[in-house]
Amino acid sequence: MKIMISACLAGENCKYNGGNNRHEKVLALMSENEVITVCPEQMGGLPTPRVPSEIKDGVVTTKDGRNVDAAFRAGAARCLEIARRWQPDLIVLQSRSPSCGVKQRYDGSFSGKLVEEPGVTAQLLMENGFRCVDVEDLE
Ligand code: SF4
């Protein structure tokens, strides 16, 4: 099976704070499948580490109030381009991220509150027919 994966789940230090979300189930998938990793925020040109962002009123905004929507959407578009070319059977993404969250993301208030909506990359990939799952929902 061909699987596209959030790069932080594979142990790449691309998370906003310079760390990763290395996940044992993902590492197991990587050993048994054909895998490609993507980090939409880095691919949109954002540095690591970076100020955390959330989606507020449809616009991706950093905790210190900067509009980074264009970078997030550029990274999402780049991921879609790769998915269209590579045609993964499954896309496994980091839960609750403003880019990668599939079922949920934070609500834009930086208070830890969640909304039942996807991040920008997950949304774009799903709108284009790709099968996405949160890492937390891996069987
Ligand atoms: S954008 Fe996605 S892949 Fe990159 S660090 Fe955030 S959750 Fe991980």
Spell out the domain ranges in the chain: 2-137
Q: Are 77 and 45 in contact (CB under 8 A)?
A: no
The one-letter code for the residue type at 55 is I
- Cα of 32 vs centre of ligand 1, distance in Å, is 22
Phi, psi of 81 (to 5 degrees): -60, -45
Rg (CA), the chain: 14
Which residue out of 97, 106, 120, 133 has the highest number of ligand 1 atoms within 8 Å of its CB and is therefore the one to mutate?
97
Which residue owns the Cα nearest ligand 1 atom 8?
A: 8
- Cα of 91 vs centre of ligand 1, distance in Å, is 13
The pTM of this model reads 0.97
pLDDT digits (tens, 9 = 90+) for 84-139: 999 999 999 999 999 999 999 999 999 999 999 999 999 999 999 999 999 999 97
Q: Which two tokens stand for residue 23?
A: 């996940």
Kindly give the number of the ligand 1 atom that is closest to the alpha carbon of 48.
5
